Amino acid sequence: MGLVRPFFLVWGILYFMADGRNLLYLSHHLIMRYSLQLVSCNISLFFKKTVMQNYNATKRVLVTGGAGFLGSHLCKRLLDEGHEVICVDNFFTGTKDNILPLLNNPRFEILRHDITFPLYIEVDEIYNLACPASPIHYQHDPVQTTKTSVHGAINMLGLAKRVKAKIFQASTSEVYGDPQIHPQTENYWGHVNPIGFRSCYDEGKRCAETLFFDYYRQHRLRIKVARIFNTYGPNMHPNDGRVVSNFIMQALQNKPITIYGDGSQSRSFCYVDDLIEAFIRLMDTEDAFTGPVNTGNPGEFTIKELAEKIISLTVSKSELQYQPLPSDDPIQRQPNINLAREKLGWEPQIKLEEGLKKTIPYFERILKG
């Protein structure tokens, strides 16, 4: 309507100033001119709408701990979805081998950085996965482990606040400690030793959760918190001391499989692809849903059952060897994932035997060099 009214005004003036033939010519000229402007305007609007939609669909995503076991799988998934990914890692436990297949992707960047120091970068989303997660690694330098969880959380939350980014915290089932309820639900506060050998990791992660929710309440930051249960798959560190990697490496070399305790303690094992799917779905939920949410496979196995299954799948000659149970090692660990089913529409799809069959060839390649 904004173009129609001026057109008739001009046409009326010309009616009194020109003869019929000139009026016809000028009218035709004005119609063509304004028609072209309308077409140009519509094309411009269409271009802006389409291009901006595509631009907005591509996010700049920061993944701390991106060269680690979980981080490398997350980086690959985000690249597969068309996002730009900045992988930040100090390479204490992460390795360049994990991200080697991603290096030729023009949307992938690596930054060697320790998140206990501030980071200044422009991003849309942050996945904070940085922290050694196996007892061998996090007990190597317990003070640094606590600093990574606490100072790292403060620095990443500060970055998210500055650039108004949504931020994801990779928390852990270790916040439940040696649980007194089974299976564990998100409203369980836990049973944790604050001064034990595992406390640097357990309490560091608990403090990080506190910081995330304080930033949410005080600064209205958009946060997502996932509590990760035992996860396995390719890209695990072969010497990280975790039960799956330990057992597979020992079985492939026909060495005795070390079981701590009598093997009756239970764990739940989630294949890495299932876990990464939960991460993506959690990050895509509405802002009002913050978590924490349990992410893991509710299928429960004893440690002895796991060892026997790995011996069978690797056709190993290994025998079971029992050692004393380490301090504060939980007897039971199984997630209740009802909240994840309800809010994320998620549950693991890959059974333990299938996941082990996908994982064993990775360790075989490591042993072959």
Query: What residue segments make up the domains of the chain, in order of their start?
Result: 58-231+271-298+329-349
Q: Considering the chain, what percentage of its residues have pLDDT values greater than 90?
A: 73
Instruction: Check residues 285 and 181 and name the one with the higher pLDDT.
Output: 285
Kindly name the residue from 127, 176, 201, 216 that is annotated as catalytic. 201
Q: pTM of the predicted model, to two decimals?
A: 0.83
* pLDDT score of 76 more than 90: yes
> What does the pLDDT read at residue 15?
47
Count, in order, helices (H) and strands (E) of the chain. 12, 13
Of residues 313, 61, 245, 281, the one with CA closest to residue 163: 61
* pLDDT score of 40 more than 90: no
Phi, psi of 128, rounded to the nearest 5 degrees: -95, 95
Structure tokens at 35: 């028609």
Confidence of residue 4 (pLDDT cuts 50, 70, 90): very low
> What does the pLDDT read at residue 250?
96
Strand ranges in the chain using DSSP code E only, listed in sequence order = 60-64, 84-89, 108-112, 125-128, 166-172, 223-228, 231-232, 257-260, 266-268, 270-271, 293-295, 300-302, 320-323
* pLDDT score of 163 more than 80: yes
> What does the pLDDT read at residue 101?
95
The verdict on whether 201 is a catalytic residue reads yes
Amino acid at 180: Q
> What does the pLDDT read at residue 204?
94
Average pLDDT over residues 8-30: 49
Average pLDDT over residues 221-232: 97
Element (H, E) at 24: helix 20-57
Which of 63-72, 197-206, 269-278 has the least mean pLDDT?
197-206
Average pLDDT over residues 153-170: 98
> What does the pLDDT read at residue 23?
47
> What does the pLDDT read at residue 139?
82
Mean of the per-residue pLDDT values for the chain? Answer: 88
> What does the pLDDT read at residue 2?
52
Average pLDDT over residues 57-63: 93
Most confident of 40-49, 125-134, 248-257: 248-257
> What does the pLDDT read at residue 22?
53
Q: Considering the chain, what percentage of its residues have pLDDT values greater than 70?
A: 85
Amino acid at 72: S
Strands 125-128 and 293-295: unpaired
Instruction: Check residues 144 and 12 and name the one with the higher pLDDT.
Output: 144
Phi, psi of 133, rounded to the nearest 5 degrees: -115, -10
Question: What fold does the segment set 58-231+271-298+329-349 form as a domain?
Answer: Rossmann fold (3.40.50)
